[in-house]
Structure 1
Amino acid sequence: MEAKIAFSQDSPPISIICAAKVADVPLTTDPGLPVGSAPTLQFGSGDLLHGVNPILHFIARAASFSSFSGQNAIEFGHVVEWLEYAPTFLSGSEFENACSFVDGYLGSRTFLVGHGLTIADLAVWSNLAGIGQRWDSLRKSKKFQNLVRWFNSIDAEYGDKLNPIVVAYVGKRGIGKSPAPSLKEKVHDSKDPSAPEVDLPGAKVGQVCVRFAPEPSGYLHIGHAKAALLNKYFAERYQGRLIVRFDDTNPSKESNEFVENLLNDIETLGIKYDAVTYTSDYFPKLMEMAESLIKQGKAYVDDTPKEQMRSERMDGVESRCRNSTVEENLSLWKEMVNGTTRGMQCCVRGKLDMQDPNKSLRDPVYYRCNTDPHHRVGSKYKIYPTYDFACPFVDALEGVTHALRSSEYHDRNAQYYRILQDMGMRRVEIYEFSRLNMVYTLLSKRKLLWFVQNKKVEDWTDPRFPTVQGIVRRGLKVEALIQFILQQGASKNLNLMEWDKLWTINKKIIDPVCARHTAVLKDQCVIFTLTNGPEKPFVRILPRHKKYEGAGKKATTFTNRIWLDLTDASAISKGEEVTLMDWGNAIIKEIKMENGVVTELIGELHLEGSVKTTKLKVTWLADIAELVPLSLVEFDYLISKKKLEEDEDFLDNLNPCTRRETPALGDSNMRNLKRGEIIQLERKGYYRCDAPFIRSSKPVVLFAIPDGRQQASLN
């Protein structure tokens, strides 16, 4: 619904215009109201909406993503509180107090409410931006580091949309500047095709029920995460129900370990559900339905060998068992139920249409035999329903109104509806979305299992795996994963996504808050002797992050012998002045070499020298016994090809080298790192601590975190 925002030129509603731009809500502007008037949203129907906060709430509801006003009722309440607080920044006497309050509040938060951008963030952000010079001055200072970090992160992510609005309505002298003529045009350009679509066919608020139905045969991976988050999105969008259902119909692949880890991963993603169910809960009813279809002549028992059956389905050839009598079929069905030798040769097939161009309708298999014990019901059953048979039945039985499926199942949609029709059950609407495909990545659980079973990775949590636990272990923040997936939305367009985009989002989250430390490569470092350096080591307490006090402090030791990385030492010339970071300048007096390789530097401190005049700024470590042994671990993709075609075997495209460990020495403060803590090693990159310090003989293990830039192969 397109609308017009009318306002007076003396007080343009920047927060409303910014929110509409970010939310892709079409809005035209009319700065024609009398001075002092409240902004008014005018609809084509003649309806009016007055005031900043009511209009912001309207935009949040009309946005293409539900989380714009909070993920739930509690978060919505917090959003309302922040909207009421936001005007405090416009009060000259209260401005710095407001900055101080919000700065403290943001000490451990990325956003004002929840784990994603809301209208609360944009209301406060636009009020700060609208202040102009006073905020610009504070932004450059170190007074409110958390507030500046938060402001800059929104600016970095949405600046292309927000900054033109700020420039047009604020200018260099504040809000009083007249709006630029270009802003009289529509704020909305065109709807972002990657944003989640909000319409489910025939959906009614309060009456929608969706389900996320993973098979417990592996851990949750990034593709499953997209399906889970979209189900969550639609359940919240329509104030409906979300069921987590385990599709446990293949006992040969499934286990309680996978069930437990899937539930943990769903919780990690922040997904709240109304119920957890299992397809195995419905085994008795499914068997009754299969027997009923046999009695109605809508299904039959077939003992055709598997390969022959596959060939006949491809060629549209009817099985010789297709016209067996009901009595013959029921007799063989009993053999299957009892798991006899004769029964094990059979399966139940639906009698649909063997000549249909859509091969999924050519008498699909409904039941097959399996004597492996089931992780929940043990050896009670010898037969199990296929996914194609069980899924529509349980969907209808549980009251699911909309079944979300990736577009790879498109050809099987007709089969889904036909099976429901033959069962005499109510229709469930299928809603398709595109499968999330990532470059150099396998998302097939069967293929991932091969890597686990053949010891090519540690387990399902290996940092090279696309599982939620794997990528989190590598250093990805969950909020980055959620942002990335929701940006893909419910689009039906097939796409192959780059990992770099995900890691870029992650960097924007971790960089403003992660602590800084120093390390040198153990086998590639050079001693630098400072002839006028301190005879006795001394310690200074420095911030772990110069722009974020919340990162804490660290103790840095200063001595007359320090370690430099070989790459830095090799770049230094005799007589050159360099800057030792966090210390000052030093002049190189002598360079010792063996076989063309630098082995030692000798020089003297020149602390009165200007850091602005030096070409090299180098990191260093004091040569002391307390240095911490490190193992810096880098990872590469498991396969060497960006995208495998359907006829290609992944085993022919395995990457020969996917993990590399480099020994290093780190500053003594790294003894206190905790497992899971993310840090930045100065001039080396970001790392996640996978194994903390235990003793000096056992290195601290740090996993390198990609930062969104293309990395060189380990080969």
Structure 2
Amino acid sequence: MDAALAFARDSPPLSIIAAAKIASVPLTIDPSLASGSAPTLYLGSVDFIHGISTILRYIARVAIVPNFYGQDAIQAAHIDQWLEYAPVIPSSSEFEAACSFLDGYLASRTFLVGHSQIADIVVWSNIAGTGQRWESLRRSTKYQNLTRWFNCIAVDYASTLDDVIVAYVGKRGIGKSPAPILKEKIHDPTENTPGPEIDLPGAKIGEVCLRFAPEPSGYLIGHAKAGLLNKYFADRYKGRLIVRFDDTNPLKESNEFVENVLRDIDTMGIKYDTVTYTSDYFPKLTEMAESLIMQGKAYVDDTPRTQMEVERRAGVESTCRNNIVEENLSLWREMVNGTESGMQCCLRGKLDIQDPNKSLHDPVYYRCNTDPHHRVGSTYKAYPTYDFACPFVDALQGVTHALRSSEYHDRTHSTIVYFKIWNKKVDDWTDPRFPTIQGMGASKNLNLMEGDKLWTINKKMIDPVCARHTALLKDQHVLFSLTNGPEEPFIRILPRHKKYEGAGNKNTTFTNRIWLEYADASVITTGQEVTLMDWGNAIIKEIKTENGIITQLVGELHLEGSVKLTKLKLTWLPDIEGLVSLSLVEFDYLITKKKLEEKDDFVNHLNPCTRRETSALGDPDTRNLKQGEIIQLERKGYYRCDVPFTGPSQPIVLFAIPDGRQQSPAN
């Protein structure tokens, strides 16, 4: 029988209702109490619990969801503090002060208390319940850390929280981010239902040409946003999309990178019309450079690089700026031939050395490089810069709109090269610790956001469809003998996902001897009733120990017992020969600082341990996992199969997938 929650109709306890839904604790709603009455939870004909924080603690204790009330007594105590504080938040006199406090508290945190959930749900509900007061503050960007957290919780529990808000506050979508302000909408006359869209200035249906121009110097990292935006606009305007490799730096580039960038583009679902290379236009670019020299619009500069950089920042003209055309042409030939003197030179455009935009202080157009090019070999010794080549090739290809995101050419690449080559912190470009498309498993990151937020969105996508399996730590499990268990083992066919038939089925063996996680056994007491997941309840009759170590539990099945009333919901494995060896691999952040500054030496912020492997035993059906398949190990988290079953001598390798609840680097 469900518990009955009674409360006053004019003050619904949103935090209790939301927490119960997410914790899978069934409640019968009874809004019949007099105004001003505190909520009461009736557990039967004579038993009841009174008060918001008391009811919330009860819900946390009976929740089926793992770690709902924290992982230990310390976390539970911190959660209790938040449960006591949360009701103060909606107070009109305290609301802004509470928002300010929370914003500061969340500056270096993703969630309120560890990996638990109830504290976040309760505080979120109290904020959302203020309605327009919070919405006004959220739109003002006054409390950015609090807004980021609020939106993250809303995404994580979207349907549940939205349903609660609609039912008791009367406004749908309060947990969603405010809608972006769009420019004037455009309308394709071939569409039946026009709608607001992001606009491109001067764009016409069927006449738009865009280009996505990654450099083939690595696997895709921060390019996903630019690539997906180009695809969006090409589709929106029924235009063309060109993939053009900006291959103007032979030192960094290779065919391997070209092939894998194309693979990443395909993974993101970006359809393009053609693939081209800036190197296709090297002859025309060389002609253009020589024409600019002849016109006196470019000059060759042999100023030492460090001195040149100082002069450019200060807006000081180079002594070479007034070289005559003949002298520039002579030095240009030295560059083209890659001679010793030519290697000391670069070609610069003669623009405005005093322009407030320092990038226009006579930018570099060409520089020397004698490394063989991955497509044209050693034909060239001087190569155009991106800023010179890109607009010129855009014009030749008929590009109408060029989109560039702020992360397109940032310091990410150099940082990763340091990790990869100097410190050997990762295996290759596909390493899960890398923020590459292949490393992160093709997550479509449309915005610059914290990794935790990205993984939270990823969890929302995989949880409804990924299969469930069971695993126990290999050296940390305890035998549980069931005196009234089945004398002969039997097998039941169970769904791999209770709400998604497409996940298929698995065979589960039921025996009178099963294995439990040692951590679970250590908190069980004699006489306690527990729930064995996918089976039913059991009562602990005896706990055997040796030198303080638990060696065996003895108990009996109590299948008629209520799973709603037990505190512990335990994963288990049958004591049979068919269990499978697993290697559970977890990855941590490569650096311990959220954002490296210009003054930082990245070596001082390297994480000394970024990979941890744990041996485990899995249920027999894990031997059928395919490489790349994503599963959830009950009460452990999400994993991707990196190495499938090859035989009993080698473990299946599972890579842990973050769910957004781990802490980001804090210092």
Q: Same-fold call, TM > 0.5?
A: yes
Structure 1 residues 340 and 356: alpha-carbon distance in aligned structure 2, compared to 1, 3 A threshold: same
The partner residue of 2:556 within 576, 590, 604 is: 604
Q: Structure 1 or 2: larger helix share? A: 1
For 1:670 and 1:713, the matched residues in 2 are separated by 33
Cα shift readout 1:553-577 (whole Å, capped 9, x = no counterpart): 1111122221100111011101222
Q: Say whether the 8 Å CA contact 1:214–1:246 is kept in structure 2.
A: yes
Matches within 5 A, 1:26-425: 157=158, 191-193=179-181, 198-221=198-221, 223-407=222-406
Structure 1 residues 280 and 458: alpha-carbon distance in aligned structure 2, compared to 1, 3 A threshold: same
In structure 2, what is the equivalent of residue 625 of structure 1? 577
For 2:400 and 2:560, the matched residues in 1 are separated by 74
Cα shift readout 1:150-208 (whole Å, capped 9, x = no counterpart): xxx9996578889988999xxxxxxxxxxx9x99xxxx997425999622222222221
Q: Say whether the 8 Å CA contact 1:155–1:162 is kept in structure 2.
A: no
Where structure 1 has 5 or more consecutive residues not aligned to the other structure, the ranges are: 1-152, 169-179, 408-434, 473-477, 489-495
Cα shift readout 1:403-442 (whole Å, capped 9, x = no counterpart): 11224xxxxxxxxxxxxxxxxxxxxxxxxxxx499xxxx9
Q: Say whether the 8 Å CA contact 1:516–1:679 is kept in structure 2.
A: yes
For 2:574 and 2:182, the matched residues in 1 are separated by 51
For 1:443 and 1:309, the matched residues in 2 are separated by 21
In structure 1, what is the equivalent of residue 70 of structure 2? none
In structure 1, what is the equivalent of residue 107 of structure 2? none
- Which one-letter code corresponds to 1:218 in the other structure? G
Structure 1 residues 556 and 164: alpha-carbon distance in aligned structure 2, compared to 1, 3 A threshold: closer
For 2:162 and 2:206, the matched residues in 1 are separated by 34
Among the aligned pairs, what percent are the same residue?
A: 73
- Secondary structure in 1 matching 2:486: coil
In structure 2, what is the equivalent of residue 458 of structure 1? 427
> Which segment drifts farther, 234-243 or 295-304?
234-243
Q: Say whether the 8 Å CA contact 2:539–2:557 is kept in structure 1.
A: yes
- Secondary structure in 2 matching 1:612: coil
Q: CA deviation at 1:512?
A: 1.7
Structure 1 residues 393 and 635: alpha-carbon distance in aligned structure 2, compared to 1, 3 A threshold: same
Q: Does 1:566 align with 2:566?
A: no
For 1:553 and 1:617, the matched residues in 2 are separated by 22
- Which one-letter code corresponds to 1:668 in the other structure? P
Q: Does 1:646 align with 2:645?
A: no
Cα shift readout 1:349-394 (whole Å, capped 9, x = no counterpart): 1111222232212211111111100000000011101111111111
- Secondary structure in 2 matching 1:611: coil
In structure 2, what is the equivalent of residue 118 of structure 1? none
For 1:194 and 1:699, the matched residues in 2 are separated by 52
Q: Say whether the 8 Å CA contact 2:182–2:198 is kept in structure 1.
A: no
In structure 1, what is the equivalent of residue 438 of structure 2? 469
Q: Say whether the 8 Å CA contact 1:528–1:563 is kept in structure 2.
A: yes
Cα shift readout 1:105-160 (whole Å, capped 9, x = no counterpart): xxxxxxxxxxxxxxxxxxxxxxxxxxxxxxxxxxxxxxxxxxxxxxxx99965788
Q: Say whether the 8 Å CA contact 2:242–2:276 is kept in structure 1.
A: yes
In structure 2, what is the equivalent of residue 696 of structure 1? 648
In structure 2, what is the equivalent of residue 102 of structure 1? none
Q: Say whether the 8 Å CA contact 2:531–2:538 is kept in structure 1.
A: yes
For 2:475 and 2:217, the matched residues in 1 are separated by 43
Structure 1 residues 267 and 712: alpha-carbon distance in aligned structure 2, compared to 1, 3 A threshold: closer
- Secondary structure in 2 matching 1:262: helix
Q: CA deviation at 1:270?
A: 0.7
Q: What RMSD in Å do the two structures reach over aligned CA positions?
A: 3.0
Structure 1 residues 348 and 205: alpha-carbon distance in aligned structure 2, compared to 1, 3 A threshold: same
For 1:189 and 1:324, the matched residues in 2 are separated by 57
Structure 1 residues 160 and 206: alpha-carbon distance in aligned structure 2, compared to 1, 3 A threshold: farther
Q: Say whether the 8 Å CA contact 1:585–1:608 is kept in structure 2.
A: yes
Q: Does 1:446 align with 2:411?
A: no
For 2:302 and 2:594, the matched residues in 1 are separated by 42
For 1:706 and 1:194, the matched residues in 2 are separated by 33
Q: CA deviation at 1:229?
A: 0.3
Structure 1 residues 443 and 505: alpha-carbon distance in aligned structure 2, compared to 1, 3 A threshold: farther
- Which one-letter code corresponds to 2:379 in the other structure? K
Q: Say whether the 8 Å CA contact 2:539–2:555 is kept in structure 1.
A: yes
- Which one-letter code corresponds to 2:509 in the other structure? T
In structure 2, what is the equivalent of residue 591 of structure 1? 543
In structure 1, what is the equivalent of residue 123 of structure 2? none
- Which one-letter code corresponds to 2:292 in the other structure? L
- Which one-letter code corresponds to 1:708 in the other structure? G
How many pairs were matched up? 498
Q: CA deviation at 1:647?
A: 2.3
- Secondary structure in 1 matching 2:290: helix
Q: Say whether the 8 Å CA contact 1:657–1:714 is kept in structure 2.
A: no
- Which one-letter code corresponds to 2:481 in the other structure? T
Structure 1 residues 661 and 262: alpha-carbon distance in aligned structure 2, compared to 1, 3 A threshold: same
Q: Does 1:551 align with 2:503?
A: yes
Q: Say whether the 8 Å CA contact 1:658–1:714 is kept in structure 2.
A: no
- Which one-letter code corresponds to 1:464 in the other structure? R
- Secondary structure in 1 matching 2:545: strand
In structure 2, what is the equivalent of residue 578 of structure 1? 530
Q: Say whether the 8 Å CA contact 1:638–1:655 is kept in structure 2.
A: yes
Q: Does 1:500 align with 2:468?
A: no
- Which one-letter code corresponds to 1:269 in the other structure? M
Q: Say whether the 8 Å CA contact 1:636–1:714 is kept in structure 2.
A: no
> Which segment drifts farther, 696-705 or 463-472?
696-705
The partner residue of 2:617 within 665, 678, 682 is: 665
Tell me the TM-score normalized by structure 2: 0.70
Q: CA deviation at 1:445?
A: 1.5
- Secondary structure in 1 matching 2:555: strand
For 1:502 and 1:559, the matched residues in 2 are separated by 41
Q: Say whether the 8 Å CA contact 2:246–2:277 is kept in structure 1.
A: yes
For 2:657 and 2:309, the matched residues in 1 are separated by 46
Q: Say whether the 8 Å CA contact 1:529–1:562 is kept in structure 2.
A: yes
For 1:666 and 1:372, the matched residues in 2 are separated by 51
Structure 1 residues 559 and 358: alpha-carbon distance in aligned structure 2, compared to 1, 3 A threshold: same
The partner residue of 1:686 within 624, 630, 638 is: 638
- Which one-letter code corresponds to 2:563 in the other structure? V
For 1:584 and 1:162, the matched residues in 2 are separated by 31
> Which segment drifts farther, 364-373 or 606-615?
606-615
Q: CA deviation at 1:620?
A: 0.7
Q: Say whether the 8 Å CA contact 1:592–1:599 is kept in structure 2.
A: yes
